Structure 1
Amino acid sequence: MRGHGGVRCLHILVLVLSTLGLQAVASSREIEHANHDGKWAKKQGTYDPLSSAYAALQAWKLAITNDPTGVTATWVGYDVCSYRGVFCELLNDNDPWSKVVAGIDLNHANLSGTLVEELGYLKDLGLFHINTNFFTGTLPNSFKDLTKLFELDVSNNLFSGSFPYVTLQMPSLIYLDIRFNEFYGPLPPAVFDKSLDALFVNNNHFDCQIPNNFGNSPVSVVVLANNKLNGELPRSISNMSNTLNELVVLNNDFNGILPPEVGELDQVVLFDVSSNNFTGTLPDTLQGLGSLEIFNVGDNQLKGNITENICGLPNVRNLTFRDNYFTGEAGLCLEITYPPRDVVVDVSGNCIAGLGDQKPPQVCSAFLGTEFISPSSPPVYYYPPPVYSPPPVYSPPPVYSPPPPPPVYSPPPPVYSPPPPPPVYSPPPPVYSPPPPVYSPPPPVYSPPPPPPVYSPPPPPVYSPPPPPVYSPPVYSPPPPPVYSPPYGGYSSSPPNC
């Protein structure tokens, strides 16, 4: 019995162990193949969006050194969708467990710190906004894993180094805003081959020339202002005619002429190349800018005449030519400053004879030489003859002329005695002249406009520039960067060669 009892105990033990083993396998499978009815589930070795987001945000929280508004104080617990500045959405409206972190918006939070590589875990992130903070360093290389990110705004921070090339590896990116930082060096050609809709790189320290493939970019808005870019504006700009709405390159070191290809930008509404070193004359092709509203070429070294090909555009409302060396202005440029157009036209600080608020004669003469017209000379170019010479409409046409000279101006033969003296001063008999309405057209037909609006410049307010908001659209004038000095005395490495 003892032997059989031992065998029976052994069988019972094996049965118990087998049962426990099956239960363990079942438990592991239950965990591995978690269903939606459980409180939590995670398949080992696969991507879990919210768990990954939790790890990323907690790592970033540790790298934030100053949080005056207490943003990250809400970053507690596993419910990342409740964190301040973090936004979630469902990938599938019918699946409550398909929630992911789709956006981060920490604008104007005044946070200090750096960005961490763990942010690359947020693979479902669509937009990342952290403008107006005090973040330093540069963008993590792991941002290349943010394959769904289409909008990146890190403007108005303290990022430094060369252009963040990792942004060129983000396949869905269409909006890139890195303005008001400390980036430096050249702009890579690849950024103009990328399918961006908006590119803001203004107020950094970028230098060198714009790559020749500049025109390959499909952007609707490009702002390169307040950098150190130089060279000529690439002629490939004509390739942007179907998409470009706003071009702002003010306050750089561009030189050379404005290429005639500029006239092909028929979708451009805002064109600002002020405060550079452009030379030569305005292109004759400017009449092609049919959508243009704001045009600013102020503070350059342009010369020649301001002609009707720019002042005659149908949609213009602000034209700035100040601080150049123009010597003439078409009369139409004056006329459009009056109602109903009320266009702002600023020609101050030029060399136009007969106008006030111009450069000193010696300055104009030194730059223009024999092209300069003495201030005592009449404004020959200011009112071009084709505009102010009486056109054919001012000469009475044949239908308004009196009868041929013999019957009108010569007394008739003796048999036809002239009428008594009183009728001499009254209109001739009906037989010799047309009716008064025909013979005497209204005064505006026979008289040109009164001299004051023709030969006198407009009142001072017309030529004075409007308040800054008129000349500085919000799209390219964000608030100034925070007063803060980057650590370690500036750049982390020397800028790359041009």
Structure 2
Amino acid sequence: MAGPGPARTARSVALLCFLVSCAALVDSRGGASRPSRQDLDVGLGGGGVGIGIGIGGGSPSSPSPTPPSSQPQPCDFENERLYRAYLVIQQFRSTVTCDPMGVTQSWSGTDVCSYKGFFCERPPNVTDRAIASVDFNGYMLQAGSLRGFVDSLPDLALFHANSNDFGGAVPALGGLQYFYELDLSNNKLAPAAFPADVLGLTNATFVDIRFNSFYGELPAGVFCKLPRVQAIFVNNNRFSGALPDNIGQSPVNYLSLANNRFTGEIPRSIARNAGTLLEVLFLNNSLSGCLPHELGLLEKATVIDAGANRLTGTIPASFACLRKVEQLNLAGNLLYGEVPDALCRLAFSNLKNLTLSDNYFTSLGSCCWDLIKEGRLNVDRNCIQWAPNQRSHEDCAKFLRQPKSCPVNNYVPCRSKYQSSSEPADDAAAEYRYRTYSALHP
């Protein structure tokens, strides 16, 4: 069938304009109210114009029934705690802008404890289950902020979010009474000073904020306000300034300060960590001053890495007491003098790798030569006569002519005792079993 002709279309449009004008006239004279969008329904069809107008006077239409809500109700959940957690999770889900692994697809329904990345337990002295831990490690989720999410789960004890793209500031965690593990490593958190709210986590045992953009000085509270902390990883940020003098107050077992911009001396109070510190990384900063005698008092340490700094002086005799050390790196500093025979004898116990390259050592103890042959001692680019791959004579002479102010410390605070290790020497890949060295990788 042919469509409407031009004349018919013109008449239809004219009629429409006339009716609209009438409606406006009635309204202007204070008569019936102006028709709403629901009162005026105009449809243009292929066969003409259909017009329906209701202008006052008619019986009011009954209100449309409220459609049933599609959202779960509190009674649909195991308990009130999980219902409240559901609301928090759904709000956070709406802010996630990238989810390459489809993690958030599981965040629906009333079984909150089955959501991917969420784990439920019963809080102390509570019969109801609640969200106790969140583990987003490696999910690559992207969201502008974690505030209003982590800090709104009141029963949360652990939050691990390594290798995501979370931005914004660190959430305020002080109100979470059970919280003790925080991992925000390798994210896109807003550049800021050390998050002060973390210092209020008196139950914290694990604090990991590495691979972010935190800057400024490390507050002294890191070493005195976390009385239960076992691991502190702040490496690969932009922290600067001197290390706090009270570093020895901390009960920390694993401490990584590597790849920042710290300056000044290694605090001598570190001797007070002798009974607790197992691994410590000062690697790749701008630390200076004399290599402290107190490092040799860390009798339980298996890893001590102070490479790539500006430390100077001779190796203190106290280093002969590091009987449990397996990895000792002092490369890339300004150390000089003799590499003590007593230090190399640690290879008879647990020492697997001793790296002293890129310094200005001038001689070796007798046992040290054997370690070079075994590949367990690296003294490249020093000033040691007869050793391979050394600095030029001119380079060595220039350094050795400079005045030296560090005292020579020959005091050995332990009895000489060398015990053969029952463990075979590990190859270079073995460093990945050390927690602090593992922390150097995102």
Report the TM range for the smaller structure's normalisation.
0.7 to 0.9
Tell me whether 1:245 sits opposite 2:206 in the alignment.
Answer: no
Give the distance between the partners of 2:254 and 2:428, measured in 1 at CA: 24
Q: Residue type matched to 2:196 in 1?
A: Y
Q: Are the aligned partners of 1:147 and 1:171 in contact in 2 as well (CA < 8 Å)?
A: no
Give the distance between the partners of 1:471 and 1:305, measured in 2 at CA: 30
Q: Are the aligned partners of 1:327 and 1:353 in contact in 2 as well (CA < 8 Å)?
A: yes
Distance 1:73 1:306, change over 3 A: same
Give the distance between the partners of 2:282 and 2:433, measured in 1 at CA: 12
Give the distance between the partners of 2:430 and 2:441, measured in 1 at CA: 15
Describe how 1:91-490 pairs up with structure 2 within 5 A. 91=123, 98-113=128-143, 114-141=145-172, 143-159=173-189, 160-193=191-224, 194-195=226-227, 196-313=229-346, 314-336=349-371, 342=374, 344-369=376-401, 470=431, 473=434, 475-478=436-439
Give the distance between the partners of 1:319 and 1:333, measured in 2 at CA: 10
The alignment's C-alpha RMSD in Å is 2.4
The DSSP-based 3-state class of the residue aligned with 2:288 is strand
Point out the structure with max Rg over C-alpha. Answer: 1
The DSSP-based 3-state class of the residue aligned with 1:120 is helix
Residue by residue, what CA displacement relative to the aligned partner does 1:377-405 show, whole Å, maximum 9, x if unpaired?
A: xxxxxxxxxxxxxxxxxxxxxxxxxxxxx
Give the distance between the partners of 1:370 and 1:280, measured in 2 at CA: 12
The DSSP-based 3-state class of the residue aligned with 1:366 is helix
Give the distance between the partners of 2:203 and 2:369, measured in 1 at CA: 48
Deviation of the 1:475 alpha carbon: 3.3
Give the distance between the partners of 1:365 and 1:175, measured in 2 at CA: 47
Tell me whether 1:86 sits opposite 2:86 in the alignment.
Answer: no
Deviation of the 1:311 alpha carbon: 0.8
Q: Residue type matched to 1:335 in 2?
A: D
Describe how 1:23-42 pairs up with structure 2 within 5 A. none
Distance 1:40 1:112, change over 3 A: closer
Distance 1:302 1:468, change over 3 A: farther
Distance 1:367 1:41, change over 3 A: closer
Q: Are the aligned partners of 1:148 and 1:171 in contact in 2 as well (CA < 8 Å)?
A: no
Give the distance between the partners of 1:301 and 1:83, measured in 2 at CA: 54
Q: Are the aligned partners of 2:207 and 2:233 in contact in 1 as well (CA < 8 Å)?
A: yes
Distance 1:311 1:52, change over 3 A: same
Give the distance between the partners of 1:304 and 1:209, measured in 2 at CA: 27
Selected match of 2:82 from 21, 43, 50? 50
Q: Residue type matched to 2:205 in 1?
A: I
Give the distance between the partners of 1:369 and 1:273, measured in 2 at CA: 25
TM-score with structure 2 setting the length: 0.72
The DSSP-based 3-state class of the residue aligned with 2:367 is helix
Give the distance between the partners of 2:428 and 2:396, measured in 1 at CA: 28
Distance 1:356 1:115, change over 3 A: same
Q: Residue type matched to 2:113 in 1?
A: C
Deviation of the 1:176 alpha carbon: 0.5
Deviation of the 1:55 alpha carbon: 2.2
Distance 1:317 1:222, change over 3 A: same
User: Structure 1 vs Structure 2: percent identity of aligned residues?
Assistant: 38
Give the distance between the partners of 1:471 and 1:78, measured in 2 at CA: 41
TM-score with structure 1 setting the length: 0.64
Distance 1:41 1:284, change over 3 A: closer
Selected match of 1:77 from 90, 95, 109? 109
Deviation of the 1:61 alpha carbon: 1.2
Q: Are the aligned partners of 1:271 and 1:296 in contact in 2 as well (CA < 8 Å)?
A: yes
Q: Are the aligned partners of 1:285 and 1:309 in contact in 2 as well (CA < 8 Å)?
A: no
Greater helix fraction, Structure 1 or Structure 2: 1
Deviation of the 1:474 alpha carbon: 6.0
Give the distance between the partners of 1:299 and 1:55, measured in 2 at CA: 53
Give the distance between the partners of 2:208 and 2:380, measured in 1 at CA: 34
Give the distance between the partners of 2:375 and 2:388, measured in 1 at CA: 19
Deviation of the 1:111 alpha carbon: 0.7
Q: Residue type matched to 1:284 in 2?
A: A
Distance 1:217 1:92, change over 3 A: closer
Give the distance between the partners of 1:254 and 1:479, measured in 2 at CA: 18
